[in-house]
Chain A
């Protein structure tokens, strides 16, 4: 044990560096044809923000319709299209690419001490595929919508709806490749391009969790692609794989779909957990408690994540014995998440804690993800699942993990690395307010849905019995607050691009390699190849380094 004092640098003397990746080249073409991982990260940030607000508008419509028990704002079929679009856009165009596409792209090479990702052109291609997929989803939306739900359940999607399932299915097929390419890029970069001295156990935990998520992306996404191609083939030429009258099995689709889509929630949440590790460590000025346990828990989640898909199908007439196995494995996958939460809490112990905005979001994450994770145990428990599945309980659980967990982590990360990405600070007081508003809005929106779920209110209902109204009104009211909480960062972060205080290279006094270079970085990231001779989160090393710097300058 040793103690360290880290004092924040004086930002009033900070200046913007002359040469950065932002002013290296100008013009639209220089952005659209860039191979710089940092610029591609920003392209991702723009597209996912765009889709987030479209998906958010859909969520707003859903909540407004549910203000009253009758279908009075939207007709039932419109409602179905709106929630389908909300799901497709938020999952495939926002959550899956959110942290790996933006922060992962920007930070993975810098954190391992490399100039760029292993395959810069494939990286750009993956953004284009993501964008093309997004445009196809929008095309499906504008030309009349899709009403299968984001789960594309057969035989509804193959035989019984007459909407743009093929366009939407192919759109997800295309974005899937974007995800596979990002995954391959991250895996190869972490394996092959680490700087001298950057051993596996000196990697920041952000890298570990993005690496684990990348494995899931590369191994899981092809199965989703197969499932969707089969749906498209079934609709176009009727191959009958999912059609019981032709000897097919409609349940097979769900096996294939959830084989991807359960790991997909870990694809979404793991990178977020990486962000939380960085943020908690930085703002408590302490090495993450039990680094190895946290790193391996990411890998454990990735491995077990592949073996639990059937817990989405406990009531669907699957064999009781297979249900037992899958329930058991579901309980096991909950353990690594619990380990992470307790390790983060223990990191705070004997720290020197400050409460900047990223830390507030990280605390929000810890609270909400704990609820989200524990309610997942409800659903993994066989007998309990029978009553809770397909109700608002599952909607609430999923949103606690994905919105309360992942979105909080994403916002924590965006605020945390904003000075590195743009070279400027965000306005601290306003952003603290936004974090608080988001937290309150979130609880108000989604907590009542747990109660609704236990009451038995089914998900995907445009109309509901009148006794459920009070809770639905609370939820809609919360959604309005939540909307404000998300608009605020959008506005002040844009404002800060021009008017924010200049950040300097290491405004938080964090230990990662990305903080040892100028902000915003130069195109090559490092002026000379860094040699790593210290552990991750080594604040002592940082304190020494800062002291030496002062000496040399003085």
Chain B
């Protein structure tokens, strides 16, 4: 063949065609389920299309004017019409049920899923692992273990799509959305932003690297930033002064946060709320939205003061908070330091310091 066309063109064609994709890799636990439904839908589509084409062609041949100069007028037929109402309806109902089951499979994560946070912003994906590993436009995940992503956008709508895993979820400003998957094949896969998000939308892409468990552990150990999300959160918690009210004391002005995650919290307006990531985030930005029963609505809003990454850190910290011991400890430390500072600078600011005990503590949080 290549004797007939120029070798350069031949090479180009070969390269072109070897890159040619026609079906995406099946690389997650969900993918085979999605593909099964897809093939069912393709089958009924082919059936429907062939049927229509066949009817039109056969009738066109049989009843063309030359062969059938006289048209026979027919009103209609209730039986036939019922047939082609009920059969498509039945096929579509099967599609509906099948699709609904798949939808719940795709969006209900198993309880043992490991959580990774993703922040979308124009035009990059930032992934934050609980261990403090940060990645831009890349995500490393272990094979054979369910992974849940808790995602939020810092600006416009984005959409997190991994075609090889057949999952996709909108990433929305001001609201956490989640998606989960379990990679089955090690390899590198496309990550796309599929919701149009502005000028460089088509460059908001990345690579998903699925690795074996050992490789993943090696990668995690090798790319840590030294501080886990919860540790960052602890620092923020103290520096923003959260600990002064949420100290866990019986007389504290804010509710106790130890083990609050996952709890059912009574609200002041009556009713209960499940404490999840979204609840915690909302309560920081818009504290009166879900006011906990028994507490006065005095918490100020932190809207505009914390980045989405910062919120994730605090949320992760509160999730990990099993006792108030360390909060008390930081508080004591900062009070001791306040006293020391006041001792140094004179007693002039004592009133202010009492009102904002954290403001003075900011740079000198002692942990460990």
Contacts from A to B (Cβ < 8 Å) = 1-6, 71, 76-77, 80, 147, 149, 151, 153, 155-156, 159-161, 244-245, 247, 250-251, 284-287, 289-293, 314-317, 320, 323-324, 327-328, 331-332, 334-335, 338-339, 341-343, 345-346, 348-355, 363, 366-367, 370-371, 374-375, 377-378, 380-387, 389-391, 451, 454-456, 458-471, 539-540
Residue of A nearest to B84 (CB): A342
Q: Please judge, given known A-B contacts A76-B203, A463-B203, A539-B73, whether A156 and B88 are in contact too, CB under 8 Å.
A: no
Is B85 an interface residue, CB under 8 A from the partner?
A: yes
Contact B37 A147 (CB under 8 A): no
**Chain A residues with CB below 8 A from B304, complex form:** 245
Q: Please judge, given known A-B contacts A320-B104, A350-B63, A350-B68, whether A375 and B45 are in contact too, CB under 8 Å.
A: yes
Contact B92 A331 (CB under 8 A): yes
Cross-interface CB contact of A370 among B49, B89, B173, cutoff 8 Å: B49
**Chain A residues with CB below 8 A from B73, complex form:** 1-4, 286-287, 539-540
**Chain A residues with CB below 8 A from B69, complex form:** 5, 352
Q: What is the distance, in angstroms, from B79's C-beta to the closest C-beta of chain A? A: 11
Ranked 9 nearest A-B pairs via Cβ: A456-B163, A383-B102, A244-B174, A381-B99, A382-B103, A290-B76, A390-B194, A348-B59, A461-B202
Cross-interface CB contact of B96 among A159, A314, A327, cutoff 8 Å: A327
**Chain B residues with CB below 8 A from A351, complex form:** 59, 63, 68, 71-72
Cross-interface CB contact of A384 among B55, B88, B99, B201, cutoff 8 Å: B99
Is B296 an interface residue, CB under 8 A from the partner?
A: no
Q: Please judge, given known A-B contacts A383-B103, A383-B105, whether A456 and B45 are in contact too, CB under 8 Å.
A: no
Is B22 an interface residue, CB under 8 A from the partner?
A: yes
Q: Please judge, given known A-B contacts A371-B49, A384-B102, A387-B166, whether A352 and B63 are in contact too, CB under 8 Å.
A: yes
Residue of B nearest to A460 (CB): B196
Q: What is the distance, in angstroms, from A345's C-beta to the closest C-beta of chain B? A: 4
Residue among B21, B44, B175, B177 with the highest chain A CB neighbour number at 10 A:
B21
Is B70 an interface residue, CB under 8 A from the partner?
A: yes
Could you give, for residues 64-104 of chain B, a 1 whenever the CB lies within 8 Å of some chain A CB and a 0 otherwise?
A: 11001111111111001100110011001101101111111
Is B190 an interface residue, CB under 8 A from the partner?
A: yes
In the docked arrangement, what's the CA distance between A161 and B53, Å? 46
In the docked arrangement, what's the CA distance between A458 and B53, Å? 31
**Chain A residues with CB below 8 A from B194, complex form:** 389-391, 458-459
Cross-interface CB contact of A353 among B68, B76, B80, cutoff 8 Å: B68
Contact A320 B103 (CB under 8 A): yes
Contact A348 B60 (CB under 8 A): yes
Q: What is the distance, in angstroms, from B73's C-beta to the closest C-beta of chain A? A: 5
Q: Please judge, given known A-B contacts A315-B170, A320-B107, A371-B49, whether A345 and B56 are in contact too, CB under 8 Å.
A: yes
**Chain A residues with CB below 8 A from B88, complex form:** 334-335, 338
Q: Please judge, given known A-B contacts A250-B157, A384-B37, whether A328 and B96 are in contact too, CB under 8 Å.
A: yes
Contact A462 B202 (CB under 8 A): yes
**Chain A residues with CB below 8 A from B303, complex form:** 245
Is B3 an interface residue, CB under 8 A from the partner?
A: no
Contact B45 A160 (CB under 8 A): no
Contact B168 A387 (CB under 8 A): yes
Contacts from B to A (Cβ < 8 Å) = 16-17, 19-24, 33-34, 37-38, 41, 44-45, 48-49, 52-53, 55-56, 59-60, 63-65, 68-77, 80-81, 84-85, 88-89, 92-93, 95-96, 98-107, 122, 155-157, 159, 161, 163-164, 166-170, 172-175, 177, 190, 192-203, 286, 303-304
Q: Please judge, given known A-B contacts A290-B77, A315-B159, A317-B175, whether A335 and B92 are in contact too, CB under 8 Å.
A: yes
In the docked arrangement, what's the CA distance between A412 and B96, Å? 34
Contact B63 A353 (CB under 8 A): yes
In the docked arrangement, what's the CA distance between A151 and B195, Å? 11
Cross-interface CB contact of B72 among A3, A327, A381, cutoff 8 Å: A3
7 contacts between A and B (CB under 8 A): A3-B73, A292-B76, A334-B88, A351-B68, A353-B64, A354-B65, A456-B161
Residue of B nearest to A464 (CB): B202
**Chain B residues with CB below 8 A from A348, complex form:** 55-56, 59-60, 63
**Chain B residues with CB below 8 A from A287, complex form:** 73-75
Contact A315 B169 (CB under 8 A): yes
Given contacts A456-B161, A456-B164, A464-B202, 10 further A-B contacts (CB under 8 A): A1-B72, A3-B71, A155-B173, A160-B198, A346-B55, A348-B55, A348-B59, A370-B49, A374-B45, A382-B99
In the docked arrangement, what's the CA distance between A466 and B20, Å? 8
In the docked arrangement, what's the CA distance between A245 and B306, Å? 13
In the docked arrangement, what's the CA distance between A331 and B20, Å? 34
**Chain A residues with CB below 8 A from B203, complex form:** 76, 463
Cross-interface CB contact of B70 among A3, A324, A384, A458, cutoff 8 Å: A3
**Chain A residues with CB below 8 A from B16, complex form:** 469-470
Contact A147 B199 (CB under 8 A): yes
**Chain B residues with CB below 8 A from A341, complex form:** 52
Residue of B nearest to A374 (CB): B45
Residue of B nearest to A466 (CB): B19
Q: Please judge, given known A-B contacts A153-B156, A153-B196, A455-B163, whether A366 and B52 are in contact too, CB under 8 Å.
A: yes
Cross-interface CB contact of A390 among B93, B172, B195, B198, cutoff 8 Å: B195
Q: Please judge, given known A-B contacts A352-B71, A353-B68, whether A331 and B199 are in contact too, CB under 8 Å.
A: no
In the docked arrangement, what's the CA distance between A258 and B308, Å? 29
Contact A289 B76 (CB under 8 A): yes
Q: Please judge, given known A-B contacts A331-B95, A461-B201, whether A386 and B70 are in contact too, CB under 8 Å.
A: no
Cross-interface CB contact of B59 among A1, A153, A292, A349, cutoff 8 Å: A349
Q: Please judge, given known A-B contacts A147-B198, A324-B100, whether A467 and B21 are in contact too, CB under 8 Å.
A: yes
In the docked arrangement, what's the CA distance between A1 and B73, Å? 5
Contact A367 B102 (CB under 8 A): no
Contact B34 A387 (CB under 8 A): yes
Cross-interface CB contact of B98 among A316, A381, A540, cutoff 8 Å: A381
Residue of A nearest to B172 (CB): A317
In the docked arrangement, what's the CA distance between A251 and B175, Å? 10
Q: Please judge, given known A-B contacts A331-B92, A366-B52, A367-B52, whether A454 and B23 are in contact too, CB under 8 Å.
A: yes
Contact B41 A378 (CB under 8 A): yes
**Chain B residues with CB below 8 A from A352, complex form:** 63-65, 68-71
Contact A386 B167 (CB under 8 A): yes
**Chain A residues with CB below 8 A from B286, complex form:** 247
Q: What is the distance, in angstroms, from B204's C-beta to the closest C-beta of chain A? A: 9
In the docked arrangement, what's the CA distance between A178 and B149, Å? 46
